[in-house]
Amino acid sequence: MVWRDFYEPFQVDSPANSGGRNPFGVTSLFIPAKAADVIINGKKAVGNVYPQMRGPVQSSSAFLAFSESWVK
């Protein structure tokens, strides 16, 4: 995988039981990319990165997530 042309990194904090769906809280650092490629056996896979919002923050369908910590 190759990520390029990054948006500004941001942190996401979701407390435990937020929305009643997950009994755990999670904190992650996201680094979204405006462009990315998946290369398998030297051939680029078909597909595109598209922009999407994560809460109030501009992100994309291609991102790196670091330090994902789950707490109860």
Q: Total structural domains in the chain?
A: 1
Q: What are the pLDDT tens digits along the chain (72 aa)?
A: 999 999 999 998 888 887 667 788 888 899 999 999 999 999 999 999 999 998 889 999 999 988 778 887
DSSP string of the chain? -EEEEE---EEEEE-TTGGGS-SSEEEEEEEEEEEEE-EETTEEPS----EEEETTEEEESEEEEEEEEEE-
Instruction: Tell me the residue range of the domain where 44 lies.
Output: 2-71
Buried/exposed code over 52-63 (b: 16+ C-beta within 10 A; e: otherwise): eeeeeeebbebb
Question: For residue 32, with 0-12 CB atoms within 10 Å meaning exposed, 13-18 middle and 19 or more buried, which class applies?
Answer: buried
Please give the model's pTM, rounded to 2 decimal places.
Answer: 0.75
